[in-house]
Amino acid sequence: MCSFRRIGALCVLLALLSALAGCGTQQTDTALPEEEAQKIEPKGKVYYAYFDTVSYVYDYAGDSAERFDERSAEVSHILSDYHQLFDIYHEYSGMVNLCTLNKNAGGEAMTVDPRLMDFLLYARELCELTGGEMNVMLGALLRPWHECREAAESDPSGASIPAEEDLIEAFRHTDIALLELDEDANTVRIADPLASLDVGALGKGYATEMAARWLESDGAQGYVLNIGGNIRCIGTRPDGSGWVTAVRNPDRSAEDFARRLRIADISCVTSGVYERYFTVNGVRYHHIIDKDTLYPAAYYDSLTVLCRDSGLADALSTALFCMPYEDSRALADSLEGVEVLWIFPDGEQRCTDGVWQMTENEA
Ligand code: ADP
Ligand code: MG
């Protein structure tokens, strides 16, 4: 479900993205003189149909209305395709999607769209890269948490958490090896009838990246995609500067920001405890599950990843969130072009050097 809280938070982020986007310093070869750049009116489109969230496409480059219509229509088309392929609740005619694969778990291998195969191969790679902390085969473990959250949303007074023995049993059906990918035959099989795919940690970012790459291949510059808070910048603003975005303070109201970052040609993705959660006996249970405890990860209140590939940023925002700081930091440091901001439950912030370079100001 797409909560209004979530939409509200995004609107603030966007307002900031638009309002503060004016004052840049970096210059590129293609930059327009500031006076000319300032005359360009940004254009935007919003879509509500994808990934249970709100998607925005912005053009800051001054494309004609026709060209912006064409480009945003193609972005919408790409998001729509991935939305359908990744849907675990509905099937669509003529398509094998994740819902079909989950229903067929334990059965025969099924032929899939090559785009789904590419995605699952990448998802498996990322699972390995993160030592299983971001695992798209966690479906069996995520489901009881998801059901408790939904039940709590409709009846907060009766809210409860899953039984520990159910979590332990569920975890036995989450090995990434249960996902059998045959690249040559282009088929997928889930080897255990009780196992299932859940790509909530990666799907949105991956689809964002596919849309961004299409825009890049079409020669677009000066575009920003914001797909449910998953931000991907294509190029720079016309004057060669970056856009300003803000990382929410996880502990306070949506008007309050922990840090402002100037970003260009990069993705910015945050995972936080404040987005989707429910409360039982005064304890908050959020939606990112640590495979090592089987409970919501407790190391940070929010974690932001900046890197070019939005799929990688999305996967890492979840994986690094589930790791103690030393391990999380070591993995971040081992990856080229990946910058991270960790915000701890007591409000302390730590970040990689690249984040300091992007920091516009601290709160
Ligand atoms: P959001 O989608 O809210 O931006 P994330 O990218 O962190 O946040 O993804 C959270 C979603 O990913 C959860 O709702 C759940 O579907 C799934 N998920 C939660 N924990 C994990 C995990 N450890 N590995 C893989 N998927 C997870
Ligand atoms: Mg993620």
Residue nearest to ligand 1 atom 8, measured at CA? 271
**What is the enclosing helix (H) or strand (E) of 258?**
strand 257-263
- In this structure, what are the phi and psi dihedrals at residue 340, rounded to the nearest 5 degrees? -140, 140
Residues with a beta carbon under 5 angstroms from ion ligand 2: 201, 314, 317-318
- Ligand 1 nearest atom to the CA of residue 318, by list position: 7
Is the CB of residue 188 below 6 angstroms from any atom belonging to ligand 1?
Answer: no
Is the CB of residue 142 below 6 angstroms from any atom belonging to ligand 1?
Answer: yes
For residue 127, the ligand closest to its alpha carbon is 1
Residue nearest to ligand 1 atom 6, measured at CA? 201
Amino acid at 192: D
Is the CB of residue 296 below 6 angstroms from any atom belonging to ligand 1?
Answer: no
Distance 52 CA to ligand 1 centre (A): 13
Distance 228 CA to ligand 2 centre (A): 11
Cα angle 106-107-111, degrees, rounded to a multiple of 5: 120
Is the CB of residue 235 below 6 angstroms from any atom belonging to ligand 1?
Answer: no
Is the CB of residue 302 below 6 angstroms from any atom belonging to ligand 1?
Answer: no
Give me the residues of the chain with pLDDT under 50, please.
Answer: 1-16, 18-28
Q: Which two tokens stand for residue 137?
A: 């085969």
Question: Would you say 302 and 268 are in contact if contact means Cβ atoms under 8 Å apart?
Answer: no
Residue 84: which of 122, 108, 112 has the closest Cα?
A: 112
pTM of the entire structure? 0.91
In angstroms, the first-to-last Cα distance of the chain is: 31
Q: What is the pLDDT of residues 272-320, one digit of tens each?
A: 998 889 999 999 999 999 999 999 999 999 999 999 999 999 999 999 9
Is the CB of residue 289 below 6 angstroms from any atom belonging to ligand 1?
Answer: yes
**What is the enclosing helix (H) or strand (E) of 85?**
helix 65-86
- Ligand 1 nearest atom to the CA of residue 290, by list position: 23
Residue nearest to ligand 1 atom 9, measured at CA? 201
Distance 88 CA to ligand 1 centre (A): 14
Question: Would you say 233 and 58 are in contact if contact means Cβ atoms under 8 Å apart?
Answer: no
For residue 228, the ligand closest to its alpha carbon is 1
For residue 9, the ligand closest to its alpha carbon is 1
Is the CB of residue 87 below 6 angstroms from any atom belonging to ligand 1?
Answer: no
Question: Would you say 345 and 284 are in contact if contact means Cβ atoms under 8 Å apart?
Answer: no
Is the CB of residue 138 below 6 angstroms from any atom belonging to ligand 1?
Answer: yes
Is the CB of residue 317 below 6 angstroms from any atom belonging to ligand 1?
Answer: yes
Is the CB of residue 313 below 6 angstroms from any atom belonging to ligand 1?
Answer: no
Residue whose structure tokens are 């969230």: 53
Q: Name residues whose C-beta falls within 8 Å of residue 41's C-beta, 6 or more positions apart in sequence.
A: 62
C-alpha distances out from residue 344 to 153, 320, 349, Å: 26, 13, 6
Distance 290 CA to ligand 1 centre (A): 10
Residue whose structure tokens are 């699952």: 120
For residue 1, the ligand closest to its alpha carbon is 1
Is the CB of residue 51 below 6 angstroms from any atom belonging to ligand 1?
Answer: no
**165-184: burial string, b at 16+ Cβ within 10 Å, e else:** eebeebeebbebebbebeee
For residue 316, the ligand closest to its alpha carbon is 2
Separation of alpha carbons 212 and 209, rounded Å: 5
pLDDT of residue 28: 45
